[in-house]
Homo-oligomer: A and B are copies of this chain.
Amino acid sequence: MSKDKQFVKEITPQQEDFSQWYIDVIKKADLMSYSPVRGCMVFKPDGYEIWENCQRILDDMFKETGHRNAYFPLFIPESFFQKEKEHVEGFNPELPWVTEAGGEKLEERLAVRPTSETMVGHMYAEWINSYRDLPLLINQWANVVRWEKRTLPFLRTSEFLWQEGHTAHEDEADARKETMQMLEIYRTFVEDYLAIPVITGQKTPSEKFAGAIDTYSIEAMMKDGKAVQAGTSHYLGTNFAEAFDIKFLNRENQHEFVHTTSWGVSTRLIGAMIMAHGDDRGLVMPPKVAPTQVIMIPIGPAKTRDQVLAKTYELQTEIKKAGFRVRVDAREQSPGWKFNEYEMRGVPVRVELGPRDMENGQVILVSRVTGEKKVVAQDNLVEEITRLLDEAHNQMFAKAKQFLEEHMISVDTLDEFKAFLEAKRGFALAGWCGSEACEATVKDETGATSRNIPFEPREHKSTCLVCGAPAKHTVVFGKSY
């Protein structure tokens, strides 16, 4: 892609073309570049730093709950995929294959990992001998590849970054407890750190992970009413244990299969936070993971420039010491240009400092989210920034929550759902009889899929939206990325 194409002059309004708005925003805010490899993207520093901030928070949460990190090979022998029937069917169409290496044709093709269940299964069979080795609680931060036909930066790319947890347990109860614990960690992270409200629930059998007994997910709503699956946690039963012969000597001195789980979130969270919060002025970054939480802009004429700049750096040091990610923009461009630039980049708090402010021992603070503009004593700077960031997070979450509630309709029939999708955007809450056929009908006729069976639906529906039979479950349906 040429230099010109990567440069975006104006951001397309969301109402006009949401997809184009998204592409415009991530390009203009300099989060990514398209790469010369089909479906693969480059994470530029401002995009990658969002991921680094997510990593640090999640990694702490994983470690607090007893998990440790490990690293498994990138390549997986072809034969490994054959061992779990559903797994091979699920992933085979998406795999890239290494067939030659070191100048020779390989005897067995190696897949570039789409996920590591099979490799982990092989290793766990070697590592686990007795109940004393359990639970085994391991996480991996890694790149994975799934050869996607239609890609979208951050949300669906052939290579992406993620974490994948893999745990082994003595029994079903302990493994299910882990599965739910990790889902709850994801919910906490996405709601409390990314300010995105989610619907927590169980995937229907047709939408579960290839090889899982049960898959649970958190589902988020983007501003165009589409869903992003923001995290999944799987109870794998003894499926992978049987496929890879992961047995342990139990407390009764008997050999039995371990019960395993896996769970993951990926860089698609970056896409989700952009689409859940952004507006026509650009990004609105969740304060807790924003690469830059505070941008400082010195203003005023050339003659006071050095003085103002010195004071700006002095205050920056203070803000940094308080633990905030703060940058100074001392370039030549006009303050007005810079104000627009950092609004577009979604930096939560802007600090302006000019000669008059210096005289008065004050600064001007502006919040990207609430729009509040306030003169603040320099002595209270850190305190006020803390408050503004907290308020920004809370308001972002409340706004997104309201949006989700307003864009989720209850429907009794498929026609109702179709009419809703034609007129508006969002999710439908509906009864479902539990048959695959009815679920497929919804997909065929609306393009929407079942997102999940929420643990706590707003209301319980009594009849299937397709066949009218008594509902087994209340399901959230929606179009998705």
Q: Contact flags (1/0) for A194-216 with B, using CB distance below 8 Å?
A: 00000000000000000000000
Interface residues of A in 69-123 (CB under 8 A from B): 69-77, 80, 93-103, 110, 112, 119, 122-123
Please state if B40 and A75 are interface contacts (CB–CB under 8 Å): yes
Please state if A74 and B159 are interface contacts (CB–CB under 8 Å): yes
Q: Tell which of A33, A36, A122 has the most Cβ of chain B within 10 Å.
A: A36
A342 at the interface (CB under 8 A from B): no
Cα A110 to Cα B158 with chains together (Å): 13
Please state if A68 and B43 are interface contacts (CB–CB under 8 Å): no
User: Given the complex, which residues of B lie within 8 Å of A36, measured CB to CB?
Assistant: 77, 80, 119, 122
User: Given the complex, which residues of B lie within 8 Å of A159, measured CB to CB?
Assistant: 73-75
Can you list 27 A-B contacts with CB-CB less than 8 angstroms, sorted by A residue number? Answer: A2-B126, A3-B126, A6-B126, A35-B119, A36-B80, A37-B76, A37-B110, A40-B75, A41-B73, A42-B73, A43-B70, A43-B71, A45-B69, A45-B70, A48-B68, A49-B69, A71-B161, A75-B159, A95-B101, A96-B98, A96-B100, A96-B110, A97-B100, A98-B98, A98-B99, A99-B100, A143-B143
User: Given the complex, which residues of B lie within 8 Å of A43, measured CB to CB?
Assistant: 70-71
A149 at the interface (CB under 8 A from B): yes
Cα A178 to Cα B112 with chains together (Å): 35
User: Given the complex, which residues of B lie within 8 Å of A442, measured CB to CB?
Assistant: none
User: Given the complex, which residues of B lie within 8 Å of A101, measured CB to CB?
Assistant: 95-97, 147
User: Given the complex, which residues of B lie within 8 Å of A35, measured CB to CB?
Assistant: 72-73, 119, 123
Q: Which residue of B lies closest to A72 (CB)?
A: B42
A44 at the interface (CB under 8 A from B): yes
Q: Contact flags (1/0) for A34-63 with B, using CB distance below 8 Å?
A: 011100111111001101100000000000
What 10 additional pairs, Cβ within 8 angstroms, besides A42-B70, A96-B101, A97-B99? A35-B73, A36-B80, A37-B73, A43-B70, A48-B71, A52-B69, A94-B102, A96-B100, A98-B98, A98-B112
Interface residues of A in 104-152 (CB under 8 A from B): 110, 112, 119, 122-123, 126-127, 129, 138, 142-143, 145, 147-149
Q: Which residue of B lies closest to A146 (CB)?
A: B102
User: Given the complex, which residues of B lie within 8 Å of A44, measured CB to CB?
Assistant: 70
Q: Which residue of B lies closest to A137 (CB)?
A: B45
Please state if A45 and B138 are interface contacts (CB–CB under 8 Å): yes
Cα A311 to Cα B94 with chains together (Å): 54
Cα A102 to Cα B49 with chains together (Å): 30
Q: Which residue of B lies closest to A3 (CB)?
A: B126
A1 at the interface (CB under 8 A from B): yes
User: Given the complex, which residues of B lie within 8 Å of A145, measured CB to CB?
Assistant: 74
Please state if A33 and B99 are interface contacts (CB–CB under 8 Å): no
User: Given the complex, which residues of B lie within 8 Å of A147, measured CB to CB?
Assistant: 101-102
User: Given the complex, which residues of B lie within 8 Å of A48, measured CB to CB?
Assistant: 68-71
The 9 closest A-B pairs by CB, nearest first: A102-B147, A96-B101, A45-B68, A40-B73, A43-B71, A97-B100, A101-B147, A99-B99, A96-B98
Cα A110 to Cα B75 with chains together (Å): 15
The distance from the CB of A282 to the nearest CB of chain B, in whole angstroms, is 20
User: Given the complex, which residues of B lie within 8 Å of A96, measured CB to CB?
Assistant: 75, 98, 100-102, 110
Please state if A1 and B126 are interface contacts (CB–CB under 8 Å): yes
The distance from the CB of A328 to the nearest CB of chain B, in whole angstroms, is 13
Q: Which residue of B lies closest to A75 (CB)?
A: B37
